[in-house]
């Protein structure tokens, strides 16, 4: 009988722990990195940048290019047409946040968004 009680207690504890981890992960927000603080040392890192869209265009191949600026500077971003990110509602002047990976393209820093908030 004791083994059964211990088994149920262990199972319940595990489920409660997993639930707590899930809830915590849904409420954790990444730190916003000012665009002017992003350097070539950040290439490959995931960051969140927030600011105003100062430029927005779509190429013939369907890639969306934008420039996001904040009070410290600006950064280019590219949303590839194979991305599952919906860019239809974006327009120049919008304030938005991009969560993605910093990349070095032809000697210039850019962010490849995984999510737009």
Tens digit of each residue's pLDDT (9 = 90 or more) over 26-38 = 777 778 999 999 9
Q: Does residue 23 register a pLDDT over 70?
A: yes
pTM of structure = 0.75
- CA-CA distance, 117 to 114, in Å (whole number)? 10
Q: What is the predicted pLDDT for the residue at 1?
A: 65
Task: Say which residues have a Cβ less than 8 Å from residue 111's Cβ, sequence separation at least 6.
Answer: 47, 49, 68, 75, 76, 77, 98, 100, 101, 102, 103
Same domain, 58 and 19: no
Identify how many contiguous H helices and E strands the chain contains and give both numbers. 1, 5
| 45: nearest Cα among 115, 102, 98 | 102
Q: What is the predicted pLDDT for the residue at 59?
A: 94
Same domain, 53 and 74: yes
Mean pLDDT of all residues in 37-57: 96
Residue linked to tokens 């319940």: 12
Q: Where are the beta strands (DSSP E) in the chain?
A: 46-58, 64-70, 73-79, 95-105, 108-116
Number of domains in the chain: 2
Give 6-17 pLDDT, tens digit per residue: 999 999 999 999
Q: What is the predicted pLDDT for the residue at 55?
A: 97
Same domain, 52 and 67: yes
Three-point CA angle 39, 40, 45, nearest 5°: 85
Same domain, 61 and 102: yes
Domain that holds residue 3: 1-30
Same domain, 71 and 110: yes
Same domain, 9 and 48: no
Same domain, 19 and 42: no
CATH of the domain at 101: 2.40.50.140
Strand-strand pairing, 95-105 and 108-116: antiparallel
Same domain, 19 and 68: no
Q: What is the predicted pLDDT for the residue at 26?
A: 78
Q: Which residue has the higher pLDDT, 36 or 24?
A: 36
Same domain, 48 and 92: yes
Q: What is the predicted pLDDT for the residue at 69?
A: 97
């Amino acid at each position: 009988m004791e083994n059964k009680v211990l088994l149920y207690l262990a199972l319940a504890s595990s489920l409660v722990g997993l639930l707590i981890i899930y809830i915590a992960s849904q409420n954790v927000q990444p730190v916003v990195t000012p665009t002017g603080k992003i350097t070539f040392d950040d290439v490959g890192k995931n960051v969140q940048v927030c600011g105003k869209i100062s430029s927005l265009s779509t190429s013939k191949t369907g890639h969306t290019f934008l420039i996001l600026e904040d009070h410290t500077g600006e950064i280019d971003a590219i949303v590839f047409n194979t991305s599952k990110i919906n860019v239809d509602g974006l327009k120049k002047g919008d304030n938005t946040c991009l969560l993605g990976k910093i990349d070095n393209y032809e000697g210039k820093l850019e962010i490849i968004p995984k999510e737009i908030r």
